[in-house]
DNA sequence: CGTTTTTGTTGACTCGAGTAGATGCCGCTG
DNA sequence: CAGCGGCATCTACTCGAGTCAACAAAAACG
């Protein structure tokens, strides 16, 4: 039987290192941090050796207490199993890690109550900043964080408020271009599948779609409103199919919804893009492997995440909040009629 | 112009509360924690009022330092944008939150180096436990955590080591049942699409598939090895299509791979399940909305997560590690031949 | 050689909360 | 009324690391 009595956990502290190296604890700190004061090279060497000999690792919690900074960022998403938020979380985590920050993840499960709980929880934990993908489109939530001096960045908002940092895609223009592309395949009757948006403002995607229709002098298009997930898209698809005179193309506000919509179409035996052309929004990996592969508007997730991290850790407490809008790329695959085999 | 000079951050501490309530700081602690000593009801009331009046929130970092526990759990996944790991992360986060814990997420991006970095980072941050979905199938990584007294739970391992807590699905039996189900539709030639597994042991899914074939007295089946993602499945699909004599059914080791495999089949104009029947593993949401909807083996993600949290926070440091294996449910949809419209 | 400057090191205080041990107060009992 | 027990409260130390003021020793300067 192997000796597993490891539990004798000999927590090594700065003091132990100091003792072994024959110096004071202050010097140890100076060495570890390249600290505010110089240390003679010979002493540095002694300390370094003591550190490796004992396997000392500084206690991050103590540091956090003293410095008032945990080097932790929080991220709140409505649903991590949504591929778009997952890729966003991935990108944020990566950008944060590069700067030496860790990321707390909070999944709101589409509930405002849970979202609030996460936010207040993160605040209590003294995170240095929060990325918020809210389930709603206003920001009373942010005030609490703001009051506690926690920098917050709104992600994926369809309207850009000025009182707080916000980062998101250029919804209107890229949506317009996407719809215009459908038109370039000869479609005149282009419907919109639009996720529910709270608040009284128009979603940028809807606005872009309207602009495009107006621009091509088309009649007013149909709108199918549904939840922002696969089931919502499926449901919208069923309603679409029930129509007697169906639009020939659809612009859908997320890849996830598009996948659900496609399933409804397939069930009914309709072909994409021959019977109905489809264009969606987000550009998640899922869009590439659906059938047919989805033409979509790809958000520059990586860049947005990096900008967000910079906004949080590289910004003074007194600088005014900024809104940063990112251009998207039209990814043309089969579902719109391009790229035929 | 509104006065946004909020930055005067009046961090309220226990001391302020004590002063306002006219008591000592100890009493404040006792009230906040239902602390180890009693406090007279009248005094409690005074303290409570002072707390709300000042908007006091205890500093979690300080508490963590004193108590040696951060009330944070870490979770490391190979890729959060994989729908299965996303749902796992969601479940873990929810279970953790219910117990008052927050969850740090680390995405390894399929790299062992990054995984190690996360693990050591989490250890430095004094997390109370770690959920590890490793990119490899052995566990040298765990020793460091173990040495620092951090309880670790291995998730989604295809082999169950005894030296450390492990939680996972019952791979062998459920895979066998899945393959037997394909056989019950009349298939005799059933291939396997198997994700790459490091280590010298057989993946439980592969073992179950072999068992099923043996049980039905079938000839040895074909294996297509590929990476554990959509692209891998697509690639396997292309190789499958290149065969002159194709198996009539396929068992695929994850939903993600299955989605890629389906795309390859569609491209070639093959029908599922008529030309090729498909059965996959995991039971993520994605499987429900692919075309055709995937028959799959659903892992009880919620239960596994809850068991994991219990294993971490409800287990003494000296109790021996346990392996917990969970039964899976066969979800029959269209891709295997069931549920025809 | 005496004085200033520089450099290296240290002791001691700080962050904010948990809690053991000491202290004081009340009422009850003998 | 002394003595005791029980309760409420406070004082003071602790967790581990950051850093400043103070000091000592060495270097630079006149």
Chain B residues close to A65, C-beta within 8 Å? 59, 61-62, 65
CA atoms of B69 and B72, how far apart (whole Å): 8
Best to test chain A binding among B71, B102, B232 (most A CBs inside 10 Å): B102
A32 touches chain B (CB under 8 A): no
Q: Tell me if B229 sits within 8 A of B193, measured CB to CB.
A: no
pLDDT of A6:
38
Q: How many CB atoms lie within 10 A of CB A54?
A: 16
Q: CA B146, C1' C26: Å apart?
A: 52
Element (H, E) at B282: strand B277-282
**Residue listed under structure tokens 């192997």:** A2
CA atoms of B177 and B55, how far apart (whole Å): 58
Residue A191: alpha-carbon gap to chain centroid: 27
- D strand bases under 7 Å from protein CB: 7-12, 14-21
Q: CA A33, C1' D18: Å apart?
A: 10
CA dihedral in degrees (B302, B157, A5, A60; nearest 10)?
-70
- Give, in order, the Cα–Cα distances in Å from B15 to each of A84, B37, B51: 45, 18, 11
Tell me whether residues B107 and A94 touch, CB distance under 8 A: yes
Q: Are strands B72-77 and B277-282 parallel, antiparallel or unpaired?
A: unpaired
pLDDT of B22:
93
DSSP-assigned states of every residue in A107-122:
E-TT-HHHHHHHHHHH
Q: Tell me the fold of A6-58.
A: 434 Repressor (Amino-terminal Domain) (1.10.260)
Closest alpha carbon within chain A to B127: A61
The answer to whether residue B198 scores a pLDDT higher than 90 is: no
Within chain A, strands assigned E span 72-77, 102-107, 129-132, 151-155, 165-169, 190-195, 223-226, 249-252, 277-282, 295-298, 323-326, 329-331
**Residue listed under structure tokens 């814990």:** B101
Nucleotide nearest to A16 (CA to C1'): D16
Of B6, B318, B341, Cβ closest to residue A7 = B318
Q: Per 3-state DSSP, what percentage of chain B is helix, strand, and coil (rounded to 5)?
A: 45, 15, 40
- Give, in order, the Cα–Cα distances in Å from A34 to each of A23, A24, B186: 16, 15, 71
- State how far residue A203 is from chain B, nearest Cα, in angstroms: 26
Grouping H, G, I as helix, E, B as strand and the rest as coil, residue A331 is strand
**Largest Cα–Cα distance in chain B?**
87
Q: Which of B3, B162, B145 is nearest to B73 (CA)?
A: B145
Residue A203: alpha-carbon gap to chain centroid: 18
pLDDT of A65:
94
Span B145-163, mean pLDDT? 77
A275 touches chain B (CB under 8 A): no
CA atoms of B132 and B69, how far apart (whole Å): 19
pLDDT of B2:
34
Is-cis flag, bond preceding B273, omega within 30?
yes
- In terms of CATH, what superfamily is B171-299+330-336? Response regulator (3.40.50.2300)
Reported as a pLDDT band with limits 50, 70 and 90, residue B192 is very high
Size of chain B in residues: 341
| pLDDT tens profile A80-117 | 999 999 999 999 999 999 999 999 999 999 998 999 99
A230 touches chain B (CB under 8 A): yes
Reported as a pLDDT band with limits 50, 70 and 90, residue B317 is low
Question: Torsions phi, psi of A209, nearest 5?
Answer: -65, -45
**Largest Cα–Cα distance in chain A?**
87
| Residues with Cβ within 8 Å of residue A249, at least 6 apart in sequence | A182, A185, A187, A189, A190, A191, A276, A277, A278, A279, A336
Please calculate the CA angle A196-A82-B128 and round it to the nearest 5 degrees: 125
pLDDT of A140:
62
Span B297-307, mean pLDDT? 96
Q: Which of A84, A59, A335 is nearest to B148 (CA)?
A: A59
Q: Tell me if B186 sits within 8 A of B212, measured CB to CB.
A: no
The answer to whether residue B3 scores a pLDDT higher than 50 is: no
- Which residues of chain A does CATH 3.40.50.2300 include? 69-168+301-327, 171-299+330-336
CA atoms of B35 and A259, how far apart (whole Å): 53
The answer to whether residue B189 scores a pLDDT higher than 70 is: yes
* CATH classification code of B69-168+301-327: 3.40.50.2300
Size of chain A in residues: 341
Span B115-132, mean pLDDT? 91
| Residues with Cβ within 8 Å of residue B116, at least 6 apart in sequence | B141
Reported as a pLDDT band with limits 50, 70 and 90, residue B314 is confident
Tell me whether residues B106 and A102 touch, CB distance under 8 A: yes
| pLDDT tens profile B227-254 | 999 999 999 999 999 999 999 999 999 9
pLDDT of A150:
84
- Give, in order, the Cα–Cα distances in Å from A202 to each of A141, A181, B148: 21, 22, 53
Question: Torsions phi, psi of A33, nearest 5?
Answer: -100, 5
Report percent pLDDT > 90 for chain B.
74
Nearest residue to nucleotide D15 when comparing alpha carbons to its C1'? B66
pLDDT of A5:
34
pLDDT of A163:
77
- C strand bases under 7 Å from protein CB: 7-12, 14-21
Instruction: Please give the mean pLDDT across all residues of chain B.
Output: 89
- Which residues of chain B does CATH 1.10.260.40 include? 6-58
| pLDDT tens profile B250-286 | 999 999 999 999 999 999 999 999 999 999 999 998 8
Residues lower than pLDDT 50 in chain A: 1-8, 341
Residue B241: alpha-carbon gap to chain centroid: 33
pLDDT of A8:
44
B184 touches chain A (CB under 8 A): no
């Amino acid at each position: 039987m192997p000796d597993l009595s490891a539990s004798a956990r000999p927590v090594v502290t700065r003091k132990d290192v100091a003792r072994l190296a024959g110096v004071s604890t202050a010097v140890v700190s100076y060495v570890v941090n390249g600290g505010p004061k110089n240390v003679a090279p010979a002493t540095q060497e002694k300390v370094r050796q003591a550190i490796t000999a004992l396997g000392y690792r500084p206690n991050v919690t103590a540091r956090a207490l003293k410095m008032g900074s945990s080097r932790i960022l929080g991220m709140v998403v409505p649903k991590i199993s949504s591929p778009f938020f997952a890729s966003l979380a991935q990108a944020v985590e990566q950008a944060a890690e590069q700067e030496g920050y860790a990321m707390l993840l909070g999944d709101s499960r589409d509930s405002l109550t849970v979202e609030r709980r996460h936010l207040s929880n993160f605040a209590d934990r003294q995170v240095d900043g929060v990325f918020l993908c809210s389930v709603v489109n206003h920001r009373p939530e942010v005030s609490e964080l703001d009051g506690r001096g926690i920098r917050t960045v709104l992600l994926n908002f369809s309207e850009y408020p000025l009182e707080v940092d916000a980062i998101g895609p250029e919804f209107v223009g890229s949506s317009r271009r996407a719809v215009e592309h459908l038109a370039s395949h000869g479609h005149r009757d282009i419907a919109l599948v639009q996720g529910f948006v709270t608040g009284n403002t128009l979603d940028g995607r809807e606005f872009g779609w309207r602009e495009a229709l107006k621009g091509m002098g088309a009649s007013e298009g149909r709108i199918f409103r549904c939840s922002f997930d696969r089931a919502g898209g499926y449901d919208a698809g069923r309603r679409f199919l029930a129509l007697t005179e169906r639009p020939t193309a659809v612009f859908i506000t997320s890849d996830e919804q598009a996948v659900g919509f496609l399933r409804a179409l397939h069930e009914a035996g309709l072909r994409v893009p021959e019977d109905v052309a489809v264009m969606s929004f987000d550009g998640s990996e899922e869009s590439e492997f659906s059938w047919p592969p989805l033409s979509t508007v790809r958000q520059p997730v990586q860049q947005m995440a990096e900008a967000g991290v910079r906004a949080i850790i590289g910004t003074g407490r007194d600088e005014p909040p900024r809104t940063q809008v990112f251009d998207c790329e039209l990814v043309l695959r089969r579902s719109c009629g391009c790229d035929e085999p």
